[in-house]
Structure 1
Amino acid sequence: MIQTKLIPRTAEAHEPPMLIKNMLAQSLRYEPQREIVYRDLFRMNYVTFNQRVRQLANVLTGLGVQPGDTVAMFDWDSHRYLECFFAVTSMGAVLHTVNIRLSPAQILYTVNHAQDKVILIHDDFLPILTAIKDQITTVDKYVLISDKVYVDLNAIGEVPAGFSGEYEALLKGTSAEYEFPDFDENTWATTFYTTGTTGNPKGVYFSHRQLFMHTMGLASYVCGYQAVPFSAMTDVYMPITPMFHVHAWGFPFLATMLSAKQVYAGRYDPELVLKLLLQEGVTFSHCVPTILNMLVNSPAAQKFKAQLSKWKVIIGGSALTKGLAKGALDLGIQVYQGYGMSETAPIMSLTYLNDLERDLPIDDQIEFRTRAGRIAPFIEMRLMNDDGTFAPHDGHALGEIVARGPWLTQGYYEDPERGADLWKGGWLHTGDVASITPDNWVLISDRTKDVIKTGGEWVSSLDMEDALSQLEGVAESAVVGLPDERWGERPHALIVQKPGYELTADGIKTELQTKVDRGDLHKWYVPDRILFVSEIPKTSVGKIDKKRIRSEMKEQILGAVNA
């Protein structure tokens, strides 16, 4: 660290900390009449939202929550979740966004490991709670959440034994006066758990300063540079990724700070999502490829093409293939790719088309829109070799992506060993292999664990999936490497075909081989084995579950050989 000269401080001068409560305060300044909508059940403006945030803080205080305590949230994407984003954190407490798609045993582990004190839980998840409640060690109070109250406040009947009350009823009888305090901006604000391939889920955590800076980074990139153009004046925001996963990619903080109209769909229902999209005029969303793929291949998509042409969608979690991008663009949906991970809050790069690229014909833009984006403002990204040296950013040299930035997690909760591995050498290690162009485009090759090592070559499973996506009749695909005595590994593919098509493995191999013979594809890009399935296995956050695929395909192939 170099020696510098610090500015002198006047004793009574105020230096405001970067706190989440300050983003909340902005929501009332300019457009407080704009709405926050939950399904077809509830809507409010930002004045009411701010009142409810303070009511929730009073409720939690009454339940004994103090600064530093952890409050767990079990809910679908909702206005209530948004209220927790601001109320729990602005009190100085920690919000644990529980991954409702984990197994009951994993959920139990995360609740106890995070030392949750209060649990707010939707009645849809009461069976999970019933199964694990006797083994929860730190929780003092439970609050019930129910959508039934939006029809009739008395509709839920008697609150289960051991609960302090129902969310809406508790808010209704509570003061909307609450003064959120100032405290250190490095105060712990949120935590959630990532699922790795081995061991228990890892607790990721973020401070007020990190989430504040992530929001400023998003504002710079999507509102300032217009990477994925977002304007609170004209855009309506609806996340289609769960709020329990990396704060719905941080966009609810940005949308609230700018008092943009927001729409929350609750429990995922494709018909309701489409209804809200059309009815509320949604123009800005983000989701995993699976969701977009379902919509693009839906018979209803062509019917609503005019409305869909106003929709901007950021894809993350898995790669956006050229086939899916073309299908979306043909419907008028403006698709973009984002890149990041749970540990990075998550945005590290996002599609940004410069003046020259923006003027290209739409089909020519697909090459850029399916890249992992350009490096985001304030993020430093490098390519590290196995020996710790750095590869050049020439668009060709490969290395592991390592990063630094103002919003990257500092480690894993109570897991210093894995935290040290994450930050080995002073850079956050992503585990992703990529190249970076001189003009800052990130070109993901693969996860280090998913690269197929065959015949001395490293073959990208993502590139193979991209090639398959462009074949007529292929709706979705996944490629993994499996052991091979001669070549070390060979590629194997799962394919979901579009309705009305009858594809064959031999036919697909022939098409790919034709591309290889023309020099369009690498010679290794023809899978050894192709299996047709009704759906691709996914993780709890909608990513392709290649660990499970490798295991299941290996069993099938070994079974076929032994038979």
Structure 2
Amino acid sequence: MMAVKLLPPADDAYNYPLLIKQLLLSAERYAGDNEIVGGNNGKRYSYAEFVERVHRLANVLTEAGVKEGDTVAVLDWDTPRYLECFFAVPMIGAVLHTVNVRLAPEQIVYTMNHAHDDLVLVHDDFLPLIAKVQDELTTVKGYIQLTDAEQAPQAPMTTIGDYETLLAAALPEFDFPDFDENAIATTFYTTGTTGNPKGVFFTHRQLVLHTLALASTTSMNDNMQLLQASSVYMPITPMFHVHAWGVPYVATMMGLKQVYPGRYEPASLVRLFATEKVTFSHCVPTILQMVLSSEKAKAIDFSGWQVLIGGSALTEGLASAALERGIQVYTGYGMSETCPLLSTTWLPQNAAELSHDEQVRLRVKTGKPVPLVNMRIIDENGRFLPHDGEAMGEVVVRTPWLTQGYLNEPQKSNELWENGWMHTGDVGSIEPSYTLQIRDRIKDVVKTGGEWVSSLDIENLISQHPAVELAAVVGLPDDEWGERPHAVITLQAGAEVDYDGIVAHMQQFIAEGHIEKWAVPDTVKIVDEIPRTSVGKIDKKRIRSELAGD
């Protein structure tokens, strides 16, 4: 290692640790009259009240026996109290486990035992589940009830008490300690195609650095001012999924008005957008499609709403539909293991002069790496490939907020970090301008006749048919070609199209050189709903299984 010169600090110099409590320092400074709103129950909190509630929650947790290094699990919808947990739990030195409430019961039990949860905060809706499996939870010592009702209903199990009653009785001040910024602050579980969910974890230092990078990214482009003092933020990504992409930490640091919608229901989301004057949200494509397709959305003017799309590819069809409704959509890229932000759409200075189609093509690109991200593509032998927009390889990254491994999974951790770069499992190309375009997941690339065909490219082209609402493409085994692409689609309300219509639609892209003829799917199945994972992504594992069984 290179020798560098280090100077001794002053005797009384304060070695400022990057802790989550430091993000809370500025919240009240900038908030003014901004509020934190609970769409689930209509309650509104000033930032002064919010900060006091964080202090009270810290006292509740310590009174319940939570110590530094213990793990506190939360099973809740997106609420202001979840935001309070984002701060209070790690600020006392404990680890926040954001439980994926959409997993199967046996997987929820697995993740809670694997994380060694000590205390569980659980919403009324999930109390019956926890009551049923509590004997299988090997490390849990107590439960706190979360309710949206004025008075908590009787719980089907013994609890320490209900959240609001405990907060009301707690002291309003807590002396949050300093400790090592590399202490683990949060953990959650990411699901794959095989095996049990894998636990990823993030330190205070990583979360603070991610927050600062995200804050700069969302305001540094003149044509993509997502978070400013006047912004109104509403997440439509579950708070159990990568800390709602880390945006609640940024919004709180900036003192923005925040709206937490509770359980996601299209009509409720549309209502909150209109009544609270929401300006910025983020979600996976299927959630945006669900909102746009809802009956209540038909009468709404969405002008002024900026939405960052991630989790899976934003197709040109959906991007075009959103822009036509007044929604400014952008693409963000990352994964659970990356905290998650790696890259975002980058619009040029003359973006307003571009045509609708040119805007769409820019907005669906995976974008430029954000500050502090070092991104490369490699071939199957680990060699770096050129950034010429043509070469395709696995995307590998380095940045200070990447998880250092999987919780208690050393072999999988070593595979994730082979040769000192985090391996994303995504196939992409990088243009000379540094713009990344994800072509597919390695496991989802269709290998037909010795050629790699991007399932995302095919989905994108199919989605541009006016009758198609959403498309998903998977590869299935084929005796002659190795694999062949097959598609499932949902249709716009009242629209009709058949296989021949899709093939005819694809012919124009073959003629224009966008795809080869072997990229046209062998079958197109029209379905009422495309399967999704627990976080709203298209579930290609299940689609493959269902198509193979047909």
Instruction: Determine if the TM-score, normalized by the shorter chain, exceeds 0.5.
Output: yes
Q: Distance in 2 between matches of 1:227 and 1:103?
A: 41
Decide which of 542, 545, 549 is 1:548's aligned counterpart. Answer: 542
Q: Aligned Cα RMSD in Å?
A: 1.3
Decide which of 372, 377, 382 is 2:376's aligned counterpart. Answer: 382
Q: Distance in 2 between matches of 1:351 and 1:546?
A: 25
Corresponding residue SS for 1:472: coil
Give the 3 Å change call, closer, same or farther, for CA 415–227 of structure 1 in structure 2.
farther
**Which has the larger displacement, 33-42 or 191-200?**
33-42
Give the 3 Å change call, closer, same or farther, for CA 123–429 of structure 1 in structure 2.
same
Q: Distance in 2 between matches of 1:353 and 1:363?
A: 14
Q: Distance in 2 between matches of 1:176 and 1:461?
A: 54
How far does the alpha carbon of each residue in 1:418-473 deviate from its partner, in whole angstroms, 9 at most, with x for none? 00000000000000000001111111110000000111110000000000000111
Q: Distance in 2 between matches of 1:136 and 1:50?
A: 32
Q: Distance in 1 between matches of 2:515 and 2:494?
A: 27
Query: 2:504 aligns to what?
Result: 510
Q: Distance in 1 between matches of 2:268 and 2:295?
A: 16
- Give the alignment of 1:358-507 within 5 angstroms: 359-507=353-501
Q: Distance in 2 between matches of 1:183 and 1:359?
A: 51
Decide which of 312, 336, 357 is 2:306's aligned counterpart. Answer: 312
Tell me if structure 1 keeps the 8 A contact 2:267–2:294: no
Query: 1:561 aligns to what?
Result: none
Tell me if structure 2 keeps the 8 A contact 1:221–1:227: no
**Which has the larger displacement, 32-41 or 281-290?**
32-41
Instruction: Give the C-alpha shift of residue 224 in structure 1.
Output: 3.1
Decide which of 166, 174, 184 is 2:162's aligned counterpart. Answer: 166
Tell me if structure 2 keeps the 8 A contact 1:411–1:419: yes
Tell me if structure 1 keeps the 8 A contact 2:53–2:84: yes
Q: Distance in 2 between matches of 1:81 and 1:273?
A: 18
Tell me if structure 1 keeps the 8 A contact 2:270–2:296: no
Instruction: Give the C-alpha shift of residue 140 in structure 1.
Output: 0.7
Corresponding residue SS for 1:367: helix
How far does the alpha carbon of each residue in 1:222-242 deviate from its partner, in whole angstroms, 9 at most, with x for none? 123457313442110000010
The one-letter code sitting in structure 1 at the alignment partner of 2:442 is T
Mapped pair 1:223 → 2:219:
yes
Q: Distance in 1 between matches of 2:511 and 2:235?
A: 43
Query: 2:233 aligns to what?
Result: 237
Tell me if structure 2 keeps the 8 A contact 1:159–1:166: no
Instruction: Give the C-alpha shift of residue 52 in structure 1.
Output: 0.2
Give the 3 Å change call, closer, same or farther, for CA 531–161 of structure 1 in structure 2.
closer
Tell me if structure 2 keeps the 8 A contact 1:283–1:312: yes
Structure 2, gaps ≥5 residues long: none
Corresponding residue SS for 1:429: strand
Mapped pair 1:285 → 2:287:
no
Instruction: Give the C-alpha shift of residue 507 in structure 1.
Output: 1.7
The one-letter code sitting in structure 1 at the alignment partner of 2:265 is D
How far does the alpha carbon of each residue in 1:251-290 deviate from its partner, in whole angstroms, 9 at most, with x for none? 0000000000000000111111111100000000001101
Give the 3 Å change call, closer, same or farther, for CA 442–363 of structure 1 in structure 2.
same
Q: Distance in 2 between matches of 1:394 and 1:537?
A: 36
Mapped pair 1:346 → 2:347:
no
Query: 2:4 aligns to what?
Result: 4
Q: Distance in 2 between matches of 1:285 and 1:7?
A: 45
Tell me if structure 1 keeps the 8 A contact 2:223–2:351: no
Q: Distance in 1 between matches of 2:407 and 2:295?
A: 46
Query: 1:73 aligns to what?
Result: 74
Instruction: Give the C-alpha shift of residue 32 in structure 1.
Output: 4.6
How far does the alpha carbon of each residue in 1:31-56 deviate from its partner, in whole angstroms, 9 at most, with x for none? 25310000152111100000000000
The one-letter code sitting in structure 2 at the alignment partner of 1:526 is V
The one-letter code sitting in structure 2 at the alignment partner of 1:173 is A
Query: 2:51 aligns to what?
Result: 50
Q: Distance in 2 between matches of 1:521 and 1:232?
A: 41
Instruction: Give the C-alpha shift of residue 220 in structure 1.
Output: 1.4
How far does the alpha carbon of each residue in 1:479-518 deviate from its partner, in whole angstroms, 9 at most, with x for none? 0011111111110000101111121112211221343245
Scaled by the length of structure 1, the TM-score of the pair is 0.96
Mapped pair 1:175 → 2:133:
no
Mapped pair 1:524 → 2:547:
no
Mapped pair 1:141 → 2:135:
no
How far does the alpha carbon of each residue in 1:176-232 deviate from its partner, in whole angstroms, 9 at most, with x for none? 110111111101100000111111110100000000000010111112345731344
Give the 3 Å change call, closer, same or farther, for CA 487–161 of structure 1 in structure 2.
closer
Decide which of 287, 291, 299 is 1:295's aligned counterpart. Answer: 291
Corresponding residue SS for 2:218: helix
Instruction: Give the C-alpha shift of residue 357 in structure 1.
Output: 4.2
Scaled by the length of structure 2, the TM-score of the pair is 0.98
Query: 1:19 aligns to what?
Result: 19
Q: Distance in 2 between matches of 1:358 and 1:414?
A: 49
Determine what percentage of the aligned residue pairs are the same residue. Answer: 54
- Runs of 4 or more off by more than 4 Å in structure 1? none
Q: Distance in 1 between matches of 2:296 and 2:98?
A: 34
Corresponding residue SS for 1:147: coil
Q: Distance in 1 between matches of 2:37 and 2:395?
A: 38
Tell me if structure 2 keeps the 8 A contact 1:72–1:120: yes
Instruction: Give the C-alpha shift of residue 158 in structure 1.
Output: 3.7
Q: Distance in 2 between matches of 1:429 and 1:358?
A: 36
